[in-house]
């Protein structure tokens, strides 16, 4: 870290200091990362972030929050305005090639040559990382097979389905066997089946020891996959902690009760916000201090029988909205 950077960082961080303890097993160490585009847009305002080796790290934020800019800087696709990035202890400014060697990137948009076939695309990428052709061919076969694309190796890539194109990008990112895999919105716009399959695949890759960083605005995705989550909004990290701690911050959850019989018009659940979305569907807001048994008792006392019950919203989504709104208030206030 540069001299004086600690002071700057300390000034920048008033509310968020979680996850700043860098250590030797740090995969990624970002300090005071800023990016201002030529048109004056401040995309990143002093980001501090640590990702540990072997982690599955989720990077969440609404559109335009700065996720892709940060990924762009780490992968050398975007020039930073200030700050430092270290990957496996290698400084991006001092040895960009050394950093690039460690990283595999799956971008959000399809960015391969649409006129080439998967074998060419993946083999070329291996070549760009200095893998000799014979070995590149073996690696390419390995990863195209793993992605279920070996049979399509000579198919023009523009003829592949959306799911196959996405898997092709994952194979391309893995062919040089990076220690850090970064995926920018890997399941944006894909169907549920493919999304689940991608999740399983990413879990497997992480299980083999590869550190995975995922940006997404699908909160369900982050909740399903990530052990640690950072939330970015307007170029600042508003939360950065492990998933359990993050979820524990939820005070109120909404539960949906599917009723076996129609609820009476004068249904009373004193102490609980509730609403009937139709005659047999009841939504109740329940705080963490309350017990679900109380709600069941109250319903039972009014002869309302519950057939089933589920959590209404993605819990993380609820928290995400709260954090982003809180940040909005803070910014407006300041």
Interface residues with another protein (CB under 8 A)?
37-38, 72, 75-79, 96-98, 100-101, 103, 105, 107, 109, 111-115, 120, 123-125, 127-133, 172
Rounded least distance, CB 49 to another protein, Å: 19
- Left (φ > 0), alpha (ψ -120 to 50) or beta: where does 46 sit? left
Question: Closest CB to another protein among 41 and 260?
Answer: 41
Question: Closest CB to another protein among 131 and 225?
Answer: 131
Question: Closest CB to another protein among 130 and 307?
Answer: 130
Q: Please, what is the angle between helix 192-207 and helix 162-174, to 10°?
A: 10
> Under a CB-based contact definition with an 8 Å cutoff, are residues 127 and 136 in contact?
yes
Which of these, 292, 313, 316, lies nearest to 244 by C-alpha position?
Answer: 316
Side-chain-facing half-sphere of 102: CA atoms under 13 Å: 21
Rounded least distance, CB 100 to another protein, Å: 4
Question: Closest CB to another protein among 173 and 263?
Answer: 173
CA distance 95 to 299: 65
Rounded least distance, CB 93 to another protein, Å: 13
- Judging by beta carbons within 10 Å of its beta carbon (0-12, 13-18, 19+), is residue 307 exposed, middle or buried? exposed
Question: Closest CB to another protein among 109 and 151?
Answer: 109
Rounded least distance, CB 76 to another protein, Å: 6
> Under a CB-based contact definition with an 8 Å cutoff, are residues 175 and 67 in contact?
no
Structure tokens at 52: 């540990």
Rounded least distance, CB 185 to another protein, Å: 15
Rounded least distance, CB 113 to another protein, Å: 5
Q: What is the DSSP letter of 32?
A: E
Rounded least distance, CB 79 to another protein, Å: 5
Residue the block writes with tokens 């800087």? 73
Q: Which residues contact 162 (CB under 8 A, 6 or more apart)?
A: 189, 190, 194
Question: Closest CB to another protein among 77 and 82?
Answer: 77
Q: What is the DSSP letter of 156?
A: -
Question: Closest CB to another protein among 132 and 209?
Answer: 132
């Amino acid at each position: 870290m540069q001299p004086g950077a600690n002071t700057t960082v300390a000034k920048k961080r008033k509310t968020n200091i979680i996850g700043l303890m860098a250590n030797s097993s740090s995969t990624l160490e970002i300090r005071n990362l800023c990016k201002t585009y030529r048109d004056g847009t401040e995309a990143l305002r002093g980001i501090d972030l640590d990702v540990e080796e072997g982690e599955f790290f989720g990077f969440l934020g609404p559109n335009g929050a700065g996720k892709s800019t940060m990924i762009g800087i780490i992968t050398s696709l975007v020039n930073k305005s200030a700050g430092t990035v270290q990957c496996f202890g290698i400084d991006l400014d001092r040895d960009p090639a050394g950093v690039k060697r460690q990283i595999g990137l799956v971008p959000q948009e399809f960015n391969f040559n649409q006129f080439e076939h998967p074998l060419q695309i993946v083999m070329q990428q291996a070549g760009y990382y200095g893998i000799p052709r014979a070995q590149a061919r073996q690696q390419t076969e390995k990863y195209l097979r793993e992605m279920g694309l070996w049979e399509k190796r000579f198919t023009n890539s523009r003829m592949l389905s959306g799911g196959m194109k996405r898997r092709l990008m994952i194979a391309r990112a893995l062919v040089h066997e990076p220690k850090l895999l970064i995926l920018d919105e890997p399941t944006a716009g894909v169907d549920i089946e493919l999304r689940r399959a991608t999740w399983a695949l990413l879990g497997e890759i992480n299980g083999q020891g590869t550190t995975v960083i995922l940006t997404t605005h699908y909160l369900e995705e982050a909740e399903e996959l990530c052990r640690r989550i950072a939330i970015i909004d307007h170029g600042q990290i508003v939360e950065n902690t492990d998933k359990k701690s993050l979820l524990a911050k939820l005070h109120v959850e909404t539960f949906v009760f599917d009723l076996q019989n129609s609820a009476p018009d004068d249904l009373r659940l004193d102490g609980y916000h509730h609403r009937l979305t139709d005659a047999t569907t009841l939504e109740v807001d329940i705080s963490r201090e309350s017990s679900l048994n109380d709600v069941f008792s109250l319903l039972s006392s009014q002869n309302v029988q519950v057939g089933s019950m589920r959590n209404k919203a993605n819990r993380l989504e609820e928290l995400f909205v709260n954090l982003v709104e809180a940040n909005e208030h803070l910014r407006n206030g300041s």
